Amino acid sequence: MSQTMRAIDIKGGAGPIEALHIAEIPRPKPTGAQALVKVKAFGLNRMDLLQRIGQYPVPASAPKTLGVEFSGVIEELGDKPERSFKVGDEVFGLAYGGAYAEYIAVSTHMLVHKPKELSWEECAGIPEVWITATQAMYLVAHFKPGNSILWHAGASSVSIAGIQLAAADSATAVYATARQDEKCQFAVDTLGATAAFNTETQDWVAEVLKATDGKGVDIIIDFIGAGYFQQNLSAVARDGVVVTLGLMGGSKLKEGTDITQLLIKRVTYVGSTLRSRDEEYQGKLRDQLVEHALPKFKDRSFKLLIDKVLPWEQIQDGHRLLEENKTKGKVICTIS
């Protein structure tokens, strides 16, 4: 086997979309619990855009190559892999980086056997978004059946997963927000949300309070950050939880922000990330995904929505699609 491989690289180490190109780099060698996977497809995520321009802190042990989710075939194993994996197995998984490449070395603790019912492209779009939604909803927000929940950016990949998870696990109500009527309708008609509100044309806080008889929602999963901080405090219920997963609306609070409701409502406001978590933590999330979500992927109870599939030679087009913020579902690249 060649000691090199092709991978997406960034000219100058960081830069605009035009800096993305395919280059020849050393092929990784699996050690310990790792497997070397020949990549069939990989998913694109918003963190990739930030990492490309040098604004996303990458774990120290991660390769500089972009990409955290993939599907492919195991070609080699380290000396201490999980017993259930062998050379030739079709898998998908989550990594700390390196998925934009022909090969990736990744812990077997973060691999899942690919079901025959799912395509390579579908599997490549599962790990990051479904595990992130699972983490935010259960481990961080401590969701229980009977809770109500609101997912901001309702047509984003994580919210697509989260809305379905909440609806399937007996939430009393599942709300969503989006910036387009089409995306709001999509959240309700396709994903099963109770209601969705257009943040451009509606007072979404007033709509949430109206829908909940003034109580507010028990859990809010937020990707906007500072831009929705004040409104989240108004929309969350007493003893509610707000989980911040992104800062699309900025990181600096507006002058005059009033945190009184944080105290009066006893709100838990917490930030969370997945990529910086250790392997043991991520492995537990993988197990939870396999137990609760994988059967529903296989029987199609859960929808795996892909907006666009591109050959990896068109990686620049994939990043443009994410930056335009018009997608409903994953953007996937394939390697032939």
What CATH number did the domain enclosing 107 receive? 3.90.180.10
What mean pLDDT, rounded, does the chain reach?
95
- Residues 309-328: what's their mean pLDDT? 95
Based on the domain organization, do 105 and 168 belong to the same domain?
Answer: no
In a domain, 185, yes or no: yes
Q: What's the pLDDT score for residue 248?
A: 87
Based on the domain organization, do 62 and 118 belong to the same domain?
Answer: yes
In a domain, 294, yes or no: no
In a domain, 30, yes or no: yes
Q: How many CB atoms lie within 10 A of CB 277?
A: 18
Based on the domain organization, do 102 and 137 belong to the same domain?
Answer: no
Based on the domain organization, do 184 and 98 belong to the same domain?
Answer: no
CA dihedral 74, 80, 83, 89 (to 10 degrees): 0
Based on the domain organization, do 168 and 242 belong to the same domain?
Answer: yes
Range with lowest mean pLDDT among 69-78, 80-89, 206-215, 287-296: 287-296
Q: What's the pLDDT score for residue 215?
A: 98
Based on the domain organization, do 26 and 143 belong to the same domain?
Answer: no
Is the dihedral angle over the CA atoms 91, 97, 100, 102 positive or is it negative? negative
Domain boundary among 271, 292, 312: 271
Based on the domain organization, do 198 and 87 belong to the same domain?
Answer: no
Q: What's the pLDDT score for residue 273?
A: 85
Based on the domain organization, do 147 and 121 belong to the same domain?
Answer: no
Domain boundary among 219, 246, 271: 271
Q: What's the pLDDT score for residue 58?
A: 87
Based on the domain organization, do 156 and 69 belong to the same domain?
Answer: no
Residue 1 has pLDDT above 80, yes or no: no
Q: What's the pLDDT score for residue 59?
A: 85
- Residues 280-301: what's their mean pLDDT? 91
Distance of CA 200 to the CA centre of its chain: 24
Residue 308 has pLDDT above 80, yes or no: yes
Q: Give 31-69 pLDDT, tens digit per residue.
A: 999 999 999 999 999 999 999 999 988 888 889 999 999
pLDDT above 90: percentage of residues in the chain = 89
pLDDT above 70: percentage of residues in the chain = 100
Based on the domain organization, do 117 and 135 belong to the same domain?
Answer: no
Q: What's the pLDDT score for residue 61?
A: 82
In a domain, 288, yes or no: no
Using the CB atoms, write b or e for 109-139: b if 16+ within 10 Å.
bbbbebeeebbbbbbbbbbbbbbbbbbbbbb
In a domain, 290, yes or no: no
Q: What's the pLDDT score for residue 276?
A: 81
In a domain, 298, yes or no: no
Based on the domain organization, do 142 and 220 belong to the same domain?
Answer: yes
In a domain, 283, yes or no: no
Whole domain around residue 320: which residue ranges?
A: 4-126+304-334
Based on the domain organization, do 120 and 151 belong to the same domain?
Answer: no
Q: What's the pLDDT score for residue 283?
A: 84
- Residues 162-181: what's their mean pLDDT? 97
Q: Are 152 and 221 in contact (CB under 8 A)?
A: yes
In a domain, 172, yes or no: yes
Residue 120 has pLDDT above 90, yes or no: yes
Q: What's the pLDDT score for residue 277?
A: 86
Split into its structural domains, the chain has a count of 2
Q: What's the pLDDT score for residue 284?
A: 87
Specify the CATH number for the domain of residue 181. 3.40.50.720
Q: What's the pLDDT score for residue 274?
A: 83
